[in-house]
Structure 1
Amino acid sequence: MDAYNILWADLVTLKRHWSRYLITTLMSPLLYLVAFGWGLGRSINLNGTSYLEFVIPGIIALTAMTTSFNGASTRLNVDRLYYKSFDECLMAPIGLPSMLMGKAMIGVVRGLMSSFVFIAVAFLIAPTIHIGSPFLVGLLLTCLTFAFLGVLAALLARSHEDMATFASLILMPMTFLGGTFFSLSQVPSGLKYALYALPLTHSSLFLRAAALDQPLPWTSLLILLVFFAAFLAGGMVVLRRISI
């Protein structure tokens, strides 16, 4: 209940501007879909799968990453550094775990909302995509992982420019190197191991396998869970430090 009380204010803001939010967050994935799925990949076939079907799960993972991260980090960053209202939240009789969860859950809500709308659009283009329980579990874990990463980044940021720097150095490389638009089997061995260190890589692998009804890489789901636990623990450490 304490976490929901923290989340409630962000939900009210989202309710007022949900249409504008969806238009803004869906623009990039739709452009990726047109440019890579229909443009560059029209005649490409990967192991019996059209490139369009191959790239859609990757774009879903990318959408979940960016919207969950930005949804959790932007509001918290503004509250901390501009409005200075986060200090008042810290003085409220609410436990730090509930505070952390409440600030992260708005990112999860935004990530799931944008992802489900994009999935609805993807079904019109590629109706053979399979959306089952494993896919939904992987999508939820992806949103949780990057929402808590967003909270951690916002807690560590000392200025608004720090968030832009973090996005450029962390999110941008994952966007194009996390297995979203290409198969890791085509990457040299040395680079492949480096790409497996990115959480988006494992999200893309698991969601793609689930969507294409292929054998599920449970190791990737486990690694994604480890990233989630690490970002959660990191957020708690930083939150305890700044609340003293």
Structure 2
Amino acid sequence: MLYDIWTVFWRDWIVLKRRLTKFILSRMVAPFLYLIAFGWGLGRSITVSSGTYLDFLVPGILALNSMNISFNSVIPVHAERIYHKSLEEYLVAPIRPTAFVVGKVLAAVLRGLISSAIILALAYGFGAALALSPLFLLVLVLNCVIFAEIGFIAAMKIETYEEMGQVNTYVLLPMSFLCGTFFSTQALPDLVRVFIEVLPLTHTSVLLRTLAGGGAGAALSFGVLTLYALGCFWFARRSFLQLTR
């Protein structure tokens, strides 16, 4: 099993390594603009209960960025299935279906973590003060895993690129702005807040912000993210197994 997982992961790593410079440069653009526009521009006129708005903002950007990168890193599986028909190579190869899912998810997690490291480097350059810890890294990994698995499920279920775009519009985009990335969910109406606080990105934003400030993350949020990771993995594996029948 481990060898099969490594085989799938290594294939994606070779592809990433050949494009690593372009990947790093392209992942610097959006965070750089966020830090300038919100951290320096708007952020100077905003006060938060603890620290600066920049310190409040960076964990939210990390949550948002790791979600988008992990999700979009798995989307090429959709093209392999629908257009290139290269997914059949994996289906006939002596690789366990579970290993294929895990390998693809781990490759997406790697991309998400590289992108997160870029954001942290930029944030420290802008003067952010964040307390990093193993738990902080664990939350980032869990967030990457969850949205890589969601991306894998979408790649298995959706038939066209247009429908894939709708996933971004109706799922990722609302979470990007409402799940505590740029402002606290306490500012939302009660009915909206109850729904928003069920979503995984909200728990990631809250945990990253708490841990970056030197606090202890809520066990409930860790539990919610773990359940999301396990549940999404089950659905991702089941979706891929349906192709092998």
Question: TM-score, normalised on structure 2?
Answer: 0.95
Q: How does 1:39-58 map to 2 (within 5 A)?
A: 39-58=41-60
Q: Is the 8 A contact 1:72 1:105 kept in 2?
A: no
Match of 1:124? 125
Q: What's the counterpart of residue 115 of structure 1? A: 116
Code of the residue aligned with 1:48 in structure 2: it is S
AA partner of residue 39 (structure 1): G
2:134 matched to 1:133? Answer: yes
Q: Check whether the contact 1:61–1:139 (CA below 8 A) recurs between aligned residues.
A: yes
C-alpha displacement of 1:218: 2.0
Gaps of at least 5 residues in structure 2 are none
| Structure 1 segment 56-205 matched on structure 2, within 5 A | 56-73=58-75, 75-205=76-206
Deviations, residues 157-189 of structure 1 (Å, cap 9, x unaligned): 111222111111110011001110001222222
Amino acid in structure 2 at the alignment position of 1:68: S
**In structure 2, what is the Cα distance between the partners aligned to 1:121 and 1:32?**
11
CA distance in 2, matches of 1:106, 1:26: 19
Corresponding residue of 1:210: 211
Q: Could you tell me whether the CA contact under 8 Å between 1:107 and 1:143 is conserved in 2? A: yes
- Equivalent AA in structure 2 for residue 33 of structure 1: L
C-alpha RMSD over aligned residues: 1.2
How far the C-alpha of 1:58 sits from its partner, in A, is 0.5
Shift in Å, 1:33? 1.8
Query: Which consecutive segments of 4 or more residues in structure 1 shift more than 4 A?
Result: none
Whole-angstrom distance in 2 between the partners of 1:7 and 1:132? 26
1:3-31 residue CA offsets vs partner (Å, 9 max, x unmatched)? 11112221111001111112223322222
Aligned length: 243
Distance 1:147 1:131 in 2: 23
User: Which AA in structure 1 matches 2:234?
Assistant: A
- Which one-letter code corresponds to 2:44 in the other structure? R
- Percent identity over the alignment is 35
Contact kept in structure 1, 2:55 and 2:128, CA below 8 Å: no
| Inter-partner Cα distance in structure 2 for 1:2 and 1:105 | 12
Distance 1:208 1:46 in 2: 12
Distance 1:20 1:78 in 2: 21
Partner Cα separation in structure 2 for residue 83 and residue 4 of structure 1: 23
